[in-house]
């Protein structure tokens, strides 16, 4: 009789993002004294790109929002210029993904407007929009730019309609009229060929936006769905909402079959709305609750269980909305993989939160930054409207990487040796034969050498396996020859 041993060690899942942590920006990186709007609309009220940050503000006699250069941090002047052309409260703003100077806004005055921000920011109040789009009969609560086609914008109003706009022609090219209540959220897939929507009638729909045809639809009886997001190229959807006992929950769906959810998980018993954000490059999902002070993050896997909880960022102050920096605006040298801008109404503050993967090496991390969508459109509006589908134009993040300078080198002048311009690799001058002078430099060299040794060992193991395979093949060939 033999006894099988059971291992006492717990089963750990290998992941490079297991130690991701959130780092709040210091006071010098925040935007202070921002008069954030008191609107109760469920939008983010903040939009960010590598040049500007836009925040919806409280104003009398119409709607307005401020646009500040990203580097203009600190206290915001109460008399700073605003974008104030709407006749009603501004409900949502979104930057054009292909032009950092173009921003769209929607309002309670049933209009959608597109604004052109001058270089360097506003110097006076902007009251004249570049485009004014009228087509809704009631207020407009949501807008979204197309991810790959230029000048395509969609809007959802309280008249239960979704309009697809060709901004260049100032016309609505499609009216999607399949909802029986207010549309709560919109999400495009990677190439913009599908549109997912959630509605107050508790239905989740997948729509072909050019024809308005509903491809998939489900009635979430036990899940009051609020927000939806496409999970990149995985052909999956994720929704956030609440159960029949008002517990916040998330559900994972197959976009081609919405009959049953793939995964259902309860988050907590709070009542605030959960905003989902997905990063297709790292396959990380972020959940930020309206009125919460924390941001949870998960990793999406291909096998069940598909949702793997990693950790959460916590703060004492609740957030009303969040803006997300595009990937091309991140700090690659600090291993930053995601960045939020939290709207903290209690302190009238916009606070940046960086999600960082801790790495010992200060060299460029290829595995953290694969090719990512850039600022160049892959199609024109007419090409997309004619039925073409094309993925985004990808760019490399290596161009934005700047190695840290050597800490042993000092500025020239005053008796110090002059700065040399040699061959720089990982922050070191290879033409300089002087040894490293600081403990940090020695540690970096030590870790690089260990990484190189580990890589060479892996290559040696692979070659040993290859040699064994060839020996077995040779042995089999000789046996076959003898038998013949």
Give the pLDDT confidence score for residue 464 in this predicted structure. 86
Helix (H) or strand (E) holding 94: strand 90-95
- Per-residue DSSP letters for 6-72? ---SPP----TTTT-EEEEPPGGGSEES--B-----SS--EEE-SSEEEEEE--SSSEEEEEEETT-
Q: What are the tens digits of pLDDT across the range 25-34?
A: 988 999 999 9
Higher pLDDT, 137 or 306: 137
Greatest Cα pair distance, the chain, in angstroms, is 96
Asked whether residue 364 carries a pLDDT value surpassing 50, the answer given is yes
Quickly state the pLDDT bin for 131 (edges 50, 70, 90): very high
Q: Are 177 and 212 in contact (CB under 8 A)?
A: yes
Asked whether residue 413 carries a pLDDT value surpassing 80, the answer given is no
Give the pLDDT confidence score for residue 439 in this predicted structure. 58
Distances, alpha carbon 216 to alpha carbons 227, 463, 481, in Å: 17, 50, 60
Asked whether residue 411 carries a pLDDT value surpassing 60, the answer given is no
Q: Which segment of 51-55, 283-287, 366-370 scores lowest on mean pLDDT?
A: 366-370
Give the pLDDT confidence score for residue 478 in this predicted structure. 86
Give the pLDDT confidence score for residue 11 in this predicted structure. 53
State the average pLDDT for the chain: 87
Give the pLDDT confidence score for residue 424 in this predicted structure. 41
> Under the phi-then-psi rule, with left for phi > 0, alpha for psi from -120 to 50, and beta for the rest, what region is 5?
beta
Q: Averaged over 101-115, what is the pLDDT? A: 96
Distances, alpha carbon 193 to alpha carbons 100, 212, 221, 386, in Å: 24, 11, 28, 12
Q: What angle do CA 189, 193, 196 make, to 5 degrees?
A: 50
Distances, alpha carbon 123 to alpha carbons 68, 79, 206, in Å: 10, 11, 43
Helix (H) or strand (E) holding 301: none
Q: Strand locations in 368-461, DSSP E? A: 372-373, 394-395, 424-425, 428-429
Within 10 angstroms of residue 438's Cβ, the number of other Cβ atoms is: 11
Distance CA 67, CA 80 (A): 9
Distance CA 291, CA 310 (A): 22
Give the pLDDT confidence score for residue 432 in this predicted structure. 41
Those residues whose C-beta lies under 8 Å from the C-beta of residue 395, and which sit 6 or more positions away, are: 328, 371, 372, 373, 374, 375, 376
Q: What are the tens digits of pLDDT across the range 6-21?
A: 444 445 567 888 899 9
Quickly state the pLDDT bin for 269 (edges 50, 70, 90): confident
Q: Give the tokens for residue 387.
A: 């039925």
Q: Are 203 and 218 in contact (CB under 8 A)?
A: yes
Q: Averaged over 387-415, what is the pLDDT? A: 68
Q: Which segment of 41-50, 105-114, 429-438 scores lowest on mean pLDDT?
A: 429-438
- pTM for the whole thing? 0.80
Give the pLDDT confidence score for residue 250 in this predicted structure. 94
- Compute the residue count for the chain: 484
Asked whether residue 407 carries a pLDDT value surpassing 50, the answer given is no
Q: What are the tens digits of pLDDT across the range 162-220?
A: 999 999 999 999 999 999 999 999 999 999 999 999 999 999 999 999 999 999 999 88
Give the pLDDT confidence score for residue 16 in this predicted structure. 86
Q: Averaged over 62-89, what is the pLDDT? A: 93
Q: Are 212 and 175 in contact (CB under 8 A)?
A: yes
């Amino acid at each position: 009789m033999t006894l099988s041993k059971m291992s006492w060690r717990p089963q750990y899942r290998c992941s490079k993002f297991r130690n991701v942590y959130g780092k709040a920006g210091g006071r010098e990186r925040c935007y202070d004294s921002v008069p954030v709007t008191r609107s109760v609309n469920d939008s983010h009220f903040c939009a960010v790109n590598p040049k500007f940050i836009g925040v919806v503000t409280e104003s009398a006699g119409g709607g307005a929002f401020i646009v500040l250069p990203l580097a203009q941090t600190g206290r915001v002047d109460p008399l700073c210029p605003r974008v104030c052309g709407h006749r009603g409260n501004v409900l949502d703003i979104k930057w054009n993904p292909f032009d950092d100077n173009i921003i769209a806004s929607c309002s309670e005055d049933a209009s959608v407007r597109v604004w052109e921000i001058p270089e360097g920011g506003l110097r006076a109040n902007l009251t004249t929009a570049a485009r004014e789009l009228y087509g809704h009969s009631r207020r407009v609560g949501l807008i979204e730019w197309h991810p790959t086609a230029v000048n395509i914008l969609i809007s959802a109003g309280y008249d239960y309609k979704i309009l697809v706009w060709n901004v260049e022609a100032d016309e609505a090219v499609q009216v999607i009229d399949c909802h029986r209540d207010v549309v709560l959220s919109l999400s495009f897939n990677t190439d913009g060929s599908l549109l997912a929507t959630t509605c107050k009638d508790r239905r989740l729909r997948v729509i072909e936006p050019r024809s308005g045809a509903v491809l998939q639809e489900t009635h979430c009886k036990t899940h009051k769905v609020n927000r939806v997001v496409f999970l990149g190229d995985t052909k999956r959807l994720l929704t956030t909402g609440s159960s029949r006992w008002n517990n916040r929950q998330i559900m994972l769906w197959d976009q081609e079959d919405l009959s049953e959810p793939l995964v259902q998980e309860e988050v907590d018993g709070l009542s605030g709305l959960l905003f989902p954000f997905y990063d297709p490059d790292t396959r990380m999902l972020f959940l930020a609750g309206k009125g919460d002070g924390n941001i949870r993050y998960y990793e999406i896997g291909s096998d069940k269980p598909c949702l793997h909880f990693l950790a959460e960022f916590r703060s004492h102050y609740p957030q009303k909305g969040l803006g997300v920096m595009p990937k091309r605006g991140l700090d690659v040298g600090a291993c930053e993989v995601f960045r939020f801008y939290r709207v903290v109404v209690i302190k009238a503050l916009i606070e940046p939160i960086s999600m960082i993967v801790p790495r010992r090496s200060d060299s460029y991390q290829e595995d953290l930054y694969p090719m990512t969508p850039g600022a160049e459109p892959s199609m024109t509006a007419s090409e997309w409207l004619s039925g073409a589908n094309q993925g985004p134009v990808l760019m490399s993040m290596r161009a934005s990487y700047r190695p840290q300078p050597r800490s042993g080198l000092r500025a020239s002048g005053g008796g110090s040796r002059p700065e040399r311009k040699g061959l720089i690799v990982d922050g070191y001058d290879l033409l300089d034969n002087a040894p490293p002078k600081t403990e940090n430099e020695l540690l970096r060299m030590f870790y690089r050498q260990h990484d190189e040794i580990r890589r060479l060992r892996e290559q040696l193991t692979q070659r040993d396996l290859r040699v064994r395979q060839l020996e077995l093949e040779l042995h089999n060939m000789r046996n076959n020859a003898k038998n013949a």
